Structure 1
Amino acid sequence: MGRLAFLLIFGLSGAAILIGLGVWQVQRLAWKEGVLAEIDSRIAADPVGLPATFEPDADRYLPVAVTGEMLGQELHVLVSVKRVGAGYRVIAPFETETGRRVMVDRGFVPTDAKNTARMLGAMDVTGNLHWPREIDSYTPEPDVAGNTWFARDVPAMADALGTEPVLIVAKSQTDPSVTPLPVDTSGIPNDHLEYAITWFSLALIWVAMTAYFLWRSRARTES
């Protein structure tokens, strides 16, 4: 009986821990969905004018509308778009009607349109402020000679283009040949449901294995 009691306690304790982890992930899922809903609401809000100063954490995703002039110098960020393939994000300097210089992520062009001339001059741009977190220890340094970047490094790009360190990701089209890639929450990971399913599945397997060992131990005791 001592062995059976040990197996029962061990099995129930392990199952309780695994179920607890699953419940925690369900709670995290509800929290993350709330965060994503709040970000979606912020992204879709009515645009405002360009703030006088910027705070990357507080102003991330802020919708803005600016009027001014799209300038000619561009930086190209290598990306891949689902069902389209490889291409580039076009990052260009934009001078507002008040004389401020910021960057605009105009959107996506295929690889063969990398150096195609695009519309410049006076235009209105609607989009969202963004400071992407795309740099990690594996990100290659930009190929300056080939004008190819591998992530949107806002401070470094601002230095290269001579602008304020702020990026407007365009929602409006700034050129017929450029497809806008507006900000959304699709790139924010939300794997809590998968984690919850994993923990609950492990709990079920743990219970089944515990029942099996209990059955075998009891059968041996009675034989």
Structure 2
Amino acid sequence: MIRPASLRGGRPWRALILPSFLALPVLALLLGLGTWQVQRLAWKTALLEELAERQSRPAIEAPTQPDPFAAVSATGRFRPGAEAFLGLEVRGSLLGGSLLAILDREGAPPLLVNRGWAPFEGGRVERPEGVVTVTGYARPGERRGLITPRDNPAERRFLHFDPVAIAATLGAPNAPPYALVVVEPGPATTPSGFGAAPPPARATLPDPATGFPSPNNPHLGYALTWFGLAIGWVVIFGLWAHRRLREPA
């Protein structure tokens, strides 16, 4: 007759040593990911509060080095022909991107301005000839990643936002290292993607941003997910260990 290990005076817990060494790293990984997301939550919350505080200030005349995403404004004339496109975005059946232009200012360096979405070809794109004042936020440059697509300066098409390189391509090498993204409060922009309705024919292009950037903050949900998986892992291991200890030797 075979008796359970517990009845034979054995040490059934020895059967859990190796599985425990295998299970603990998984638990540590899940807890580490959850803790990291909690840290990211604190960082993102502070960032959103800082952005909201900057954007609540009155717009100032665009300086050489503004705070990232601060409200700024500039007055000048758009330089004829000094335009480029940034990114790729489909609206309806039209392929376009953000229209970048050089704003020449009196007594100040020229400024790179992101006027908003416009199609690469066609469309009624407005190009004011007189003095204009634009208001929005200061967008800093981005770091180029390992898989960032190549730009095409010859055709003035850019997929990576490097304001210094773009401004130099447009003949303004002394422009500050950021772009003023025009913001005009209003209805939401036209949805992107194939099948979405194209911009109305009577609409004035470019189509500027309608608000300041506000990054998502999903890190609380991510943290709860990882911690929930950690709890589930402990429960599953506990049930398995309990069953293993009750098995006959």
Same-fold status (TM-score > 0.5): yes
**Equivalent residue for 1:208?**
235
Structure 2 vs 1, CA of residues 44 and 110 (structure 1 numbering), >3 Å: closer, same or farther? farther
Q: CA RMSD in A?
A: 3.3
* Among 45, 49, 56, the residue aligned to 2:61: 49
**Equivalent residue for 1:199?**
226
Find out whether 1:33 has 2:51 as its counterpart. no
Find out whether 1:92 has 2:92 as its counterpart. no
1:64-103 paired onto structure 2 within 5 Å: 64-72=72-80, 73-80=82-89, 86-103=95-112
Find out whether 1:2 has 2:13 as its counterpart. yes
* Among 180, 192, 198, the residue aligned to 2:208: 180
The answer for unaligned runs of 5 or more in structure 1 is: none
How big is each residue's C-alpha offset from its partner over 1:64-120, in whole Å with a ceiling of 9 and x where there is no partner?
A: 122111222201123226889742111111011325211111111134337956223
Structure 2 vs 1, CA of residues 196 and 219 (structure 1 numbering), >3 Å: closer, same or farther? same
Mapped partners of 2:40, 2:159: distance in 1: 32
Mapped partners of 2:30, 2:90: distance in 1: 38
The structure with the largest alpha-carbon Rg is 2
What displacement does 1:39 show? Answer: 1.3
**Equivalent residue for 1:168?**
180
The TM-score normalised by the length of structure 2 is 0.70
The answer for unaligned runs of 5 or more in structure 2 is: 1-11, 186-202
Find out whether 1:219 has 2:246 as its counterpart. yes
| Structure 1 segments of 4+ aligned residues over 3 angstroms from their partners | 4-21, 81-86, 111-117
Mapped partners of 1:17, 1:78: distance in 2: 37
How big is each residue's C-alpha offset from its partner over 1:168-216, in whole Å with a ceiling of 9 and x where there is no partner?
A: 111149x931111354133xx7453343133223212311221222222
**Equivalent residue for 2:190?**
none
Q: Which has the higher helix share?
A: 1
Structure 2 vs 1, CA of residues 135 and 190 (structure 1 numbering), >3 Å: closer, same or farther? farther
The TM-score normalised by the length of structure 1 is 0.77
